[in-house]
Amino acid sequence: MSSSVKKKGFGATVWDYLTTVDHKKIAVMYLLGGTLFFVIAGLEAVLMRIQLMYPENDFVSAGTFNQLLTMHGTTMLFLAAMPLLFAFMNMIVPLQIGARDVAFPFLNSLGFWLFFLGGLFLHLSFFMGGAPDAGWTSYASLSLYSPGHGVDFYVLGLQVSGAGTLISGINFLVTIINMRAPGMTFMRMPLFTWTTFVTSALILFGFPPLTAGLILLLFDRMFSAKFFDVMYGGNTIIWEHLFWIFGHPEVYILVLPAFGLFSEIIPTFSRKRLFGYSSMVFATILIGFLGFMVWAHHMFTVGLGPTANAIFAVATMAIAVPTGMKVFNWLLTVWGGSIKVTTPMLYALGFIPSFVAGGVTGIMQATAPLDYQLHDSYFIVAHFHYVIVGGIVLGLLGSTHFYWPLFFNRMLNETLGKITFWIFFIGFHMTFFLQHFLGLMGMPRRVFTYMPDQGWDLFNFISTIGAFLMSAGVILLVLNVIITAIKGEPAGNDPWGDTRTLEWAIPQPIPFYNFRQTPLVRGLDPYWIEKQEGNKEGMVYAEPLGDIHMPNNSIVPFVMSLGLFIASFGALYSPLGVADDSRTWAIPVLVIGLVITFGSMIYRSLKDDHGYYVTVAEIEALEEELYGKKGGNK
Residues lying near ligand HEM in the complex (CB under 6 A) are found at 42, 45, 48-49, 69-70, 72-73, 76-77, 81, 135-137, 381, 385, 388-389, 392-393, 431, 445-446, 467, 470
- Tell me if 191 sits within 8 A of 264, measured CB to CB: yes
Residue 389 binding result from ligand HEM, Cu ion, another protein, none, given CB thresholds of 5 to 8 Å by partner type: ligand HEM
| Residue 247 CB, nearest approach to Cu ion (Å) | 7
50 binds, among Cu ion, ligand HEM, another protein, none (CB under 5 to 8 A by kind): none
Q: Which of Cu ion, another protein, ligand HEM, none does residue 534 bind to, with CB < 5 to 8 Å depending on kind?
A: none
Residues paired with residue 614 on neighbouring β-strands, in sequence order: 548
The secondary structure element, H or E, covering residue 614 is strand 612-614
Residue 462: exposure state from Cβ atoms within 10 A (0-12, 13-18, ≥19): middle
Q: Which is nearer to another protein, 121 or 246 (CB)?
A: 246
Residue 248 interacts, among another protein, ligand HEM, Cu ion, none and using kind-specific CB cut-offs from 5 to 8 Å, with Cu ion
* Closest distance of CB 612 from ligand HEM, Å: 40
- By beta-carbon proximity to ligand HEM, the closer residue of 69 and 122 is 69
Query: Taking CB within 5 to 8 Å according to partner kind, which of ligand HEM, Cu ion, another protein, none is near residue 431?
Result: ligand HEM
Q: Which stretch binds Cu ion (CB under 5 A): 220-228, 248-256, 382-390, 441-449?
A: 248-256
Taking CA atoms, 447 is separated from 51, 83, 385, in Å, by: 10, 29, 17
> Among the candidate windows 109-117, 245-253, 353-361, 368-376, which touches Cu ion by CB under 5 A?
245-253
Q: Give min distance, CB of 552 to another protein, in A.
A: 7
267 vs 427, beta carbon nearer ligand HEM: 427
Q: Radius of gyration of the chain from Cα atoms?
A: 25
Say if residues 98 and 181 touch (Cβ distance below 8 Å): yes
CB of 4 to ligand HEM, least distance (A): 39
Partners of 486 in beta bridges? none
Helix (H, G, I), strand (E, B) or coil at 519: strand
Pick 30 or 239: Cβ nearer another protein: 239
Residue 305: which of another protein, ligand HEM, Cu ion, none does it interact with, CB under 5 to 8 A by kind? another protein
Crossing angle of the two packed helices 343-366 and 394-408, in degrees rounded to 10: 150
In this complex, which beta carbon is closest to another protein, that of residue 212 or of residue 370?
Answer: 212
Q: Which is nearer to ligand HEM, 57 or 137 (CB)?
A: 137
| Residue 77 partner contact from Cu ion, ligand HEM, another protein, none using kind-dependent CB cut-offs of 5 to 8 Å | ligand HEM
Interface with Cu ion: number of residues (CB under 5 A): 1
Q: Give yes or no for a contact between 33 and 115, defined as CB atoms under 8 angstroms apart.
A: yes
Sign of the torsion formed by the C-alpha atoms of 333, 384, 316 and 134: negative
In the complex, the smallest distance separating the C-beta of residue 385 from ligand HEM, rounded to whole angstroms, is 6
- Element of type H or E holding 520: strand 519-520
List CB contacts of 318: < 8 A, sequence separation 6 or more: 290
Q: DSSP states of 174-236 as a string?
A: HHHHH-PPTT--GGGS-HHHHHHHHHHHHHHHHHHHHHHHHHHHHHHHHH---SS-GGGT--H
Q: Choosing among another protein, Cu ion, ligand HEM, none, which partner's interface includes residue 296 (Cβ < 5 to 8 Å by kind)?
A: another protein
The nearer residue to Cu ion, 128 or 317, going by C-beta atoms, is 317
Helix axes 82-96, 394-408, angle to 10 degrees: 50
Nearer of residues 61 and 185 to another protein, judged by Cβ: 185
* Footprint of another protein (CB under 8 A): 1, 173, 177-178, 201, 204-205, 209, 235, 237-238, 241, 245, 289, 292-293, 296, 304-305, 307-308, 549, 552, 608, 610-615, 618
Q: Is 375 in the site for Cu ion (CB under 5 A)?
A: no
In 3D space, the residue among 345, 372, 168, 180 whose CA is nearest the CA of residue 270 turns out to be: 345
CB of 146 to ligand HEM, least distance (A): 13
In the bound state with another protein, the residue whose beta carbon lies nearer, of 178 and 584, is 178
For 100, counting Cβ atoms within 10 Å of its Cβ (0-12 exposed, 13-18 middle, 19+ buried), the class is buried
DSSP 550: E
Report how far Cα 290 is from the mean position of its chain's Cα atoms. Answer: 21
Report the candidate in 365, 385, 361 with the shortest Cα–Cα distance to residue 374.
365
Smallest distance from the beta carbon of 383 to ligand HEM, in angstroms? 11
Distance in Å, CB of 364 to another protein, minimum: 23
Q: How far is the CB of 321 from another protein (least distance, A)?
A: 20
Residue 433 beta carbon to ligand HEM: minimum distance, rounded to whole angstroms: 13
Indicate which of another protein, ligand HEM, Cu ion, none lies near residue 613 (CB less than 5 to 8 Å, by partner kind): another protein
Quick one: which of 296, 311, 305 has its CA closest to 247?
A: 296
Nearer to another protein, 178 or 535 (CB): 178
Q: How far is it, in rounded angstroms, from Cα 603 to Cα 195?
A: 35
User: Least separation, in Å, of the C-beta of 607 and ligand HEM?
Assistant: 40
Between 181 and 210, CB nearer to ligand HEM: 210
Residue 170 CB, nearest distance to ligand HEM (Å)?
23
Beta carbon nearer to Cu ion, 220 or 371: 371
User: Looking at 23, 221, 248, 445, which residue binds Cu ion (CB under 5 A)?
Assistant: 248
Smallest Cα–Cα separation from 350: which of 399, 390, 386?
390
Nearer to another protein, 103 or 394 (CB): 103
Residues 6+ apart with CB under 8 A from 320: 359, 362, 363
Q: Do 407 and 27 meet the contact criterion of CB atoms below 8 Å apart?
A: yes
Least distance (Å) between residue 541 CB and another protein: 22
The secondary structure element, H or E, covering residue 551 is: none
**Which residues of the chain form contacts with Cu ion (CB under 5 A)?**
248
